[in-house]
Amino acid sequence: MRVPALALALALATAPAVAATLKATLLVPADDTRLERSRAERAYLGHPTGPAGDGVQMALEEGQFELDAAQAGVAVTTQAAASLDAARAAALAAEKAGAAVLLVDLPTDWLLAVVDAVKLPVLNLADPADRLRAQDCRARLFHLMPSERMRADALAQTLVSRKWTQLLLLVGPSPADQLRAATVQASMKRYGLKAVASKPFKMSADPRERDLANPLLLTAGANYDAVWVVDSDGEFARSLPYRTVLPRPVVGDAGLVAVAWHAQFERFGAPQVSRRFAKATRRPMTAHDWSAWMAGKALVGAAVAAPKGPNAAWAQALARTPVDGSKGTAMTFRAWDGQLRQTLLLTDGQGVISQAPIEGLLHPSNVLDTLGADAPEKLCKAPR
């Protein structure tokens, strides 16, 4: 039986349009030293304990119903790189193969090489370096992980709220520690905190340097409300709480730590998120896992907002579509530096003590912008 031409035209007009698939590539380090078994077992707060792909995969599985309803699709492939040049080559190959977005969990210099090699949006899953949001920012670079400045501001706000204003600063010997100490001092100045003393520490097997890591010697000779320790490695910081001369709290990289996520957060649907992740991976969800999960959710949101693509439409949707991270507020990327606005959790490792921004803090437009570099500071010069 022949179908009338009008009926056929109507059927074609109402048939669902075939959506394009948003292709993304996740770039990770080959033989990632951060995930060595002995280190992952220590589970230092703020450090990764598993691959970023776990969080991305969970987000895609959770978003499948929404993708199906919008007749949209997302496909993510993973590529390991053993060097900066290999990372750059992998990024170029992904772009040539049709990737619309790159997800990157790489060292800072590798990340910048990738961003400069391609013309795609790049999602930074794990690097908190402030330089990526300031002098080395890029127009197509977006950050899921909170910056060092955001973490320092969260702690500074918390200390101010408790009137712990006199601080003893202990700083490790690595270049990363020196940079992070400068960030801590900027946050202290921003919120009116005072360093009564700043002392270096050093973990060493040399008996002649044993005193450089002695908590009693390091915390003697000063009067302070709290000890702020800057230890990117984490080994010394973990040994500091309850070993200071004065009975004072420790904050920074041990004691009270500001993180993007903790598995014991118990509000806004967070327990369900953490349970799903633990069931799938057999390990607690960390801040790095949460950032990777948020990257996956951002991909889903972009695909649903622009199911037909093309890449330019997905890039616009990625930058503008709010994402729910189960922390009580919709999160968006800042226009001036690509950082994801978000609340931070203050934890002692056993549970979540509080959140930042602290209650009662004011801001002209968005209180979340009290964490990290604000627009008037104009630290990022890249046009957006």
DSSP string, 47-69: S--S-THHHHHHHHHHTHHHHHH
Between 384 and 372, where is the model more confident? 372
243 domain residue, yes or no: yes
Percentage above 90 pLDDT, the chain: 83
Q: What confidence tens digit (pLDDT) does each residue in 163-182 have? A: 999 999 999 999 999 999 99
Q: Quick one: 249 and 121 in the same domain?
A: no
Indicate the pTM of the whole model: 0.92
Coil/strand/helix, residue 79: strand
Q: Quick one: 286 and 340 in the same domain?
A: yes
Q: Quick one: 87 and 171 in the same domain?
A: no
SS3 content of the chain, % helix, strand, coil (to 5): 40, 20, 40
User: What single-letter DSSP state applies at residue 145?
Assistant: S
> For the CA atoms of 294, 256, 184, 163, what is the dihedral angle to 10 degrees?
120
pLDDT of 384 above 70: no
Mean pLDDT, all residues of the chain? 92
Angle at 112 between CA 109 and CA 115, to 5 degrees: 155
pLDDT of 217 above 60: yes
Coil/strand/helix, residue 102: strand
191 domain residue, yes or no: yes
Read off the pLDDT band of 208 (50, 70, 90). Answer: confident
End-to-end CA distance of the chain: 58
Q: Quick one: 48 and 194 in the same domain?
A: no
What is the arithmetic mean of pLDDT over 218-237? 95
pLDDT of 194 above 60: yes
Range in 31-35, 189-193, 197-201, 204-208 the model is least confident about: 204-208
11 domain residue, yes or no: no
Determine the Cα–Cα distance for residues 338 and 324; give it in Å rounded to an integer: 17
Q: Quick one: 179 and 47 in the same domain?
A: no
pLDDT of residue 154: 97
Which residues, 6 or more positions from 322, have their beta carbon under 8 angstroms from its beta carbon?
A: 301, 330, 331, 332
pLDDT of 4 above 90: no
**C-alpha 166, offset from chain centre:** 29
Determine the Cα–Cα distance for residues 266 and 284; give it in Å rounded to an integer: 14
Q: Quick one: 167 and 42 in the same domain?
A: no
pLDDT of 360 above 90: no
Q: Quick one: 67 and 127 in the same domain?
A: yes
Q: Quick one: 165 and 140 in the same domain?
A: no
Helix and strand numbers, DSSP H then E, in the chain: 13, 14
- Beta-strand (E) ranges in the chain? 21-29, 73-81, 101-104, 122-124, 141-143, 166-171, 194-200, 226-230, 250-252, 257-259, 323-324, 330-331, 344-347, 352-356
pLDDT of residue 17: 52
Q: Which of 217, 244, 259 delimits the end of a domain?
A: 259
pLDDT of residue 9: 41
pLDDT of residue 367: 86
Q: What are phi and psi of 373, to 5 degrees?
A: -65, 125
Determine the Cα–Cα distance for residues 70 and 65; give it in Å rounded to an integer: 9
pLDDT of residue 188: 97
Read off the pLDDT band of 359 (50, 70, 90). Answer: confident
Q: Quick one: 72 and 83 in the same domain?
A: yes
82 domain residue, yes or no: yes
Read off the pLDDT band of 41 (50, 70, 90). Answer: confident
Range in 126-140, 198-212, 243-257 the model is least confident about: 198-212
Q: Left (φ > 0), alpha (ψ -120 to 50) or beta: where does 43 sit? A: left
Domain tally, the chain: 2
pLDDT of residue 190: 94
364 domain residue, yes or no: no
Q: Is beta strand 73-81 parallel, antiparallel or unpaired with respect to 21-29?
A: parallel
6 domain residue, yes or no: no
Q: Which of 226, 241, 259 delimits the end of a domain?
A: 259
Which residues, 6 or more positions from 12, have their beta carbon under 8 angstroms from its beta carbon?
A: none
Which residues, 6 or more positions from 280, have their beta carbon under 8 angstroms from its beta carbon?
A: 54, 57, 58
> What's 319's domain CATH number?
3.40.50.2300
Contact status, residue 308 vs residue 17, Cβ threshold 8 Å: yes
Q: Quick one: 123 and 31 in the same domain?
A: yes
Provide the residue range defining the domain that includes 271: 19-146+260-344
pLDDT of 5 above 60: no
2 domain residue, yes or no: no
Q: Which of 214, 240, 259 delimits the end of a domain?
A: 259
Q: What confidence tens digit (pLDDT) does each residue in 284-334 have? A: 999 999 999 999 999 999 999 999 989 999 999 999 999 999 999 889 999
Q: What confidence tens digit (pLDDT) does each residue in 46-93 have? A: 999 999 999 999 999 999 999 999 999 999 999 999 999 999 999 999
pLDDT of residue 18: 54
Please report how many Cα atoms fall inside a 13 Å half-sphere around the Cα of residue 242, on the Cβ side. Answer: 3
Q: Quick one: 103 and 64 in the same domain?
A: yes
Read off the pLDDT band of 268 (50, 70, 90). Answer: very high
Determine the Cα–Cα distance for residues 121 and 172; give it in Å rounded to an integer: 35
pLDDT of residue 84: 97
358 domain residue, yes or no: no
Determine the Cα–Cα distance for residues 354 and 384; give it in Å rounded to an integer: 34
Q: What confidence tens digit (pLDDT) does each residue in 108-153 have? A: 999 999 999 999 999 999 999 999 999 999 999 999 999 999 999 9
Q: Quick one: 255 and 265 in the same domain?
A: no
- Beta-strand (E) ranges in 278-370? 323-324, 330-331, 344-347, 352-356
Copy the structure tokens of residue 286.
């960390």
